């Protein structure tokens, strides 16, 4: 811990990266660097400011996520991605619902507090915890609340305006424009807004900032911006880059227009910002009141009762494999060769739930083909059924029973994986 400004000093570092003061582990023989007193005063003032609304927004996002998980049935599959019905019920952005006859305007507000899966939530909340305290400490809680909500809405508006199938014609166009109107949600628009605020802040006050802070803001934010935009380009099929850019630009515009009060300067915040803070929070509350008022729980219950698509694939595959096994047993014990081609074609057309299922299916069909050839040779006239079918090669029969043991082991694990059993 730096004794001058209170910032964390990394192990082995000889001076504080914020204020430049020598660390306690620095050798006494090294010449002491002159401490920038203005940086120390600025750092202490920033570090001592609270960031309560950063925590409030973080907890609000987690609370809404838990509600969505409960509405999804509290299953582990839901953590990997909520059903579309749940996203829509909680206010995800959908153009046709916003522009429809009911004009669901609250879908411009709710998306900044909802997330599509657990990874989405964790990434965004970690980013909020890293960026949010800087903005709230620099500008104060009132301005921070206004920044978060306005830039979040700005990101959703940008997403709404860029659903243009006629413009999403190539890879670069699809970076911004979307070909389909699909549910969009997440706090990343507001997070990019905070990054835009810090970027403009560092440039706007580059001559007034202490030396230790110039590296953190302004052009120091460019690597973060470019890296995230590059990631957005790679994931343009599922990342809403328009919302990111909308939040970034709206945050930069707010930072240009908003005055800045230096930490440590005692001056009461103007009543206008308090009023704007209250109005911003009121808009969010009214928006979620509309979400609750239009909440369609029967539709969610029906969607939750419907089988998961992966479960249906598993069940169809298991049914096809059961038919093949029955035919194998019929070939072994009765030399029954009827319908083998139809059953084989049906098994090949049934989608397999995973790679192991494909391997097991191929093995079983190969065993059936061998048994069919052996039985056809042993009983060349299928119209004449002998009283006792000629015995088949025991190796083929044992191969089938060995296969069935491996299949039963996979079946038990897969039934749990694909929620085919409770």
**Exposure class string for 370-401: b at 16+ Cβ within 10 A, else e:** bbbebbeeeeeeeeeeeeebeebeeebbebbe
Kindly name the residue from 72, 120, 141, 244 that is annotated as catalytic.
Answer: 244
229, 242 Cβ separation under 8 angstroms: no
CA separation for the pair 368, 6 (Å, rounded): 74
Whether residue 39 contacts residue 216, with contact meaning beta carbons closer than 8 Å, is answered with no
Q: Which tokens hold the place of 88? A: 């829509």
Tell me which of 159, 188, 250, 280 is the catalytic residue: 188
Would residue 141 show up in a list of annotated catalytic residues for this protein?
no
Do the Cβ atoms of 74 and 56 come closer than 8 Å?
no
Q: Could you give the CA distance from residue 267 to residue 272 in angstroms, rounded to a whole number?
A: 14
Element (H, E) at 333: helix 309-334
201-239 core/surface letters (b: 16 or more CB in 10 A; e: else): bbebbeeebbebbbeebbeebeebeeebeeebeeebeeb
Strand partners for 178: 163
Bridge partners (DSSP) listed for residue 71: none
Residue 153 CB partners (closer than 8 Å, separation 6+): 108, 109, 112
Buried b / exposed e over 335-362, threshold 16 CB at 10 Å, is bbbeebeebbeebeebebbbeebeebbe
- Whether 188 is catalytic is yes
Distance CA 308, CA 300 (A): 14
Place of tokens 């750092």: 43
Positions marked catalytic: 188, 244
């Amino acid at each position: 811990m730096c004794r001058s400004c209170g910032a964390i000093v990394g192990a082995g570092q000889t001076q504080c990266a914020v204020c430049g003061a020598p660390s306690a582990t620095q050798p006494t023989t090294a010449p002491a660097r002159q401490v920038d007193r203005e940086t120390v005063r600025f750092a202490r003032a920033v570090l001592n400011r609270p960031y309560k609304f950063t925590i409030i927004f973080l907890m609000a996002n987690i609370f809404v996520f838990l509600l969505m998980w409960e509405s999804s049935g509290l299953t582990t599959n839901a953590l990997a991605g909520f059903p579309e019905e749940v996203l829509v019920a909680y206010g995800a952005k959908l153009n046709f619902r916003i522009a429809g006859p009911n004009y669901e305007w609250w879908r411009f507000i709710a998306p900044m507090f909802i997330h599509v899966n657990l990874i989405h939530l964790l990434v965004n909340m970690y980013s909020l915890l890293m960026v949010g305290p800087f903005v709230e400490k620099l500008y104060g809680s009132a301005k921070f609340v206004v920044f978060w909500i306005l830039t979040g809405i700005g990101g959703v508006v940008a997403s709404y305006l860029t659903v243009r199938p006629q413009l999403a014609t190539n890879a670069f166009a699809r970076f911004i424009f979307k070909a389909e109107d699909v549910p969009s949600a997440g706090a990343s628009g507001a997070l990019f807004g905070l990054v835009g605020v810090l970027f403009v802040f560092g440039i706007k006050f580059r001559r007034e900032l202490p030396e230790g802070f110039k590296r953190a803001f302004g052009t120091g934010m460019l690597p973060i911006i470019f890296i995230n935009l590059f990631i957005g380009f790679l994931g343009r099929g599922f990342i809403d880059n328009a919302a990111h850019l909308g939040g970034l630009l709206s945050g930069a515009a707010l930072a240009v227009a908003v005055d800045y009060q230096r930490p440590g300067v005692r001056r009461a915040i103007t009543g206008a910002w308090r009023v704007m803070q209250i109005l911003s929070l009121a808009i969010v509350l009214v928006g979620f009141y509309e979400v609750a008022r239009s909440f369609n729980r029967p539709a969610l219950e029906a969607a939750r009762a419907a089988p998961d698509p992966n479960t249906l694939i598993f069940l169809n595959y298991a049914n096809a494999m059961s038919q093949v096994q029955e035919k194998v047993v019929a070939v072994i014990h009765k030399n029954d060769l009827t319908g083998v081609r139809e059953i084989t074609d049906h098994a090949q057309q049934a989608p397999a739930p995973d790679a192991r299922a494909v391997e097991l299916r191929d093995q079983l069909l190969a065993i059936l083909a061998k048994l069919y050839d052996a039985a056809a040779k042993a009983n060349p006239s299928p119209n004449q059924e002998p009283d006792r079918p000629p015995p088949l090669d025991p190796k083929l029969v044992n191969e089938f029973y060995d296969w069935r043991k491996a299949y039963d082991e996979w079946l038990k694990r897969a039934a749990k994986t694909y929620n085919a059993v409770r």
